[in-house]
Structure 1
């Protein structure tokens, strides 16, 4: 009997230690700084201007310090997220699906516009091009290879709507690695046409970085789901809910909140789930940018 109790006590102690270790390693209860990474889809200066008000708001709401991480590429963002070097990230639909493949991410919130996003095809205003078919044999630019609105969906719709394979239809296919860079490349005549994020394009107009007389939109894609704010999957539920509530509490009726929302191209935020991206997953698998598992 004595040997039994000794064995039982040892097993109980081991289980308690394992439980404590598991709880501590997964809860991140000592989180003091929220590491926030964003897609490098515009210049660094534009991104800092866009996200600085949001970081200040999140810090005040959550009582956590915040730090902004701007990776050098979409792939780098995917990598550092998977490595656990990021707590909260602003991801495109495709990059979110990539970090979700091994359950490293949980969808948190998305802008209302992200439920019905659109890619726009643009040309220089005085180019004489009016339709996509007229760009045959011309140069064309996507954004990043991993961009949902700058590559994945434009390529998808070129195929489904126009039966176009970019590499055989255009004389040259480029990847600018940034939506604003695509716009500027079209404006400067470096390429004849390009596919861009519609919200970035509109923000560039509102900020007078370009004008309506510079660029012409020749086609707007059908809607699809896109961007999402996601957290690492092992972030404890308390912090996860606190961050989600911070986004959901932003109200367009508040003057201060509206300034933040305007910077983000948002009217308001909605809760997001991975099932919202089922359409994108099917397209990405078809383009071999995701595995079927």
Structure 2
């Protein structure tokens, strides 16, 4: 009997290890940067979880949500909005970890010097009538929150507030478009801006920050609720612990985050409420 029990346990273990645990991430920066970052995450998780882990890149925020919904991936690095959207489609899924900085995230509004708009602590109403680019249509920091404040302060939808509205696709591209003058104003993830400035990729004599939003919860790791059924009891907790215990400074700097901490779905209720208020919950 003991032999049969041991054999059964071995077969379960072999079956679990044979499965590849997959994850994705919203494409909020250029592809090469994401491949480097998440390739390292896959290597780290493979070692910590004792099973093969693979990063699957996607072309859009909506594609990340779809991959999560269809169980093509079991874990995803989402923004606040995409995480809320994805978890709504997969009952039992949970936000399990976030960057320390993601508790109090913010959006930067940036402007080309030709706009004539100076930095201000109050919302820059002078952006009205200018050309304006968001990031991705599904981005929290690049679309949801800036659109919310635009509507709040200008009492107009973006199409009515600006002479031309664009969607760059990612935060790095937003910087490039405003710096080139293709758009005079844009909104993006503050961390991407600061990383680009530190790397010397921004000419702050040409483009600079004119306003920053109040803080809000943003990025998080979300996991499907059925992973324990596939990889065994306690697997979700194991993934959560592995993410929270990332200590490699080079890996953390690639996000960039100082650390990862525990997260839960309730923390993102303000994001859902905001998305519902301006009609973005069904945008994917």
Provide the TM-score with structure 2 as the length reference: 0.86
1:241 alignment partner in structure 2? 237
Any unmatched runs of 5+ in structure 2? 1-11
Q: Is the 8 A contact 1:51 1:263 kept in 2?
A: no
Gaps of 5+ in 1: 1-23, 252-256
State the Cα RMSD in Å.
1.9
Residue from 175, 181, 194 that aligns with 2:173: 181
Q: Judge conservation of contact 1:51–1:264 (CA < 8 Å) in 2.
A: no
Q: 1:287 aligns with which of 265, 278, 281?
A: 278
Which of 199, 206, 214 does residue 207 from structure 1 map onto?
A: 199
Aligned to 2:9: none
Partner of residue 123 from structure 1, selected from 111, 121, 128: 111
* Residue 277 (1) aligns with residue 273 (2): no
Do residues 112 (structure 1) and 100 (structure 2) align? yes
Q: Is the 8 A contact 1:117 1:226 kept in 2?
A: yes
Bigger mean CA deviation after superposition, 262-271 or 209-218: 209-218
Alignment of 1:139-150 (within 5 A): 139-150=131-142
Matched positions, count: 260
Question: How far, CA to CA, are the matches of 1:78 and 1:175 in structure 2?
Answer: 19
Does 2:210 match 1:194?
Answer: no
Among 93, 101, 111, the residue aligned to 2:88: 101
Return the offset for 1:31.
Answer: 5.9
Once residues 238 and 276 of structure 2 are traced to their aligned partners in structure 1, the CA distance between those partners, rounded to angstroms, is 34
Does the 8 A contact of 1:82 with 1:104 survive in 2? no
| CA offset digits 1:48-72 (Å, max 9, x no partner) | 1232322222222222222221111
Offset at residue 126 of structure 1 (A): 5.3
Structure 1 runs, 4 residues or longer, greater than 6 Å off: none
| TM-score w.r.t. length of structure 1 | 0.83
Could you say which residue in structure 2 is the equivalent of 1:20? Answer: none
Q: Summarize the alignment of residues 249-268 of structure 1 with structure 2, pairs less than 5 Å apart.
A: 249-251=245-247, 257-268=248-259
Name the SS for the 2:58 alignment partner.
coil
Which protein has the larger Cα radius of gyration, Structure 1 or Structure 2? 1
Residue 276 (structure 1) shift: 0.4
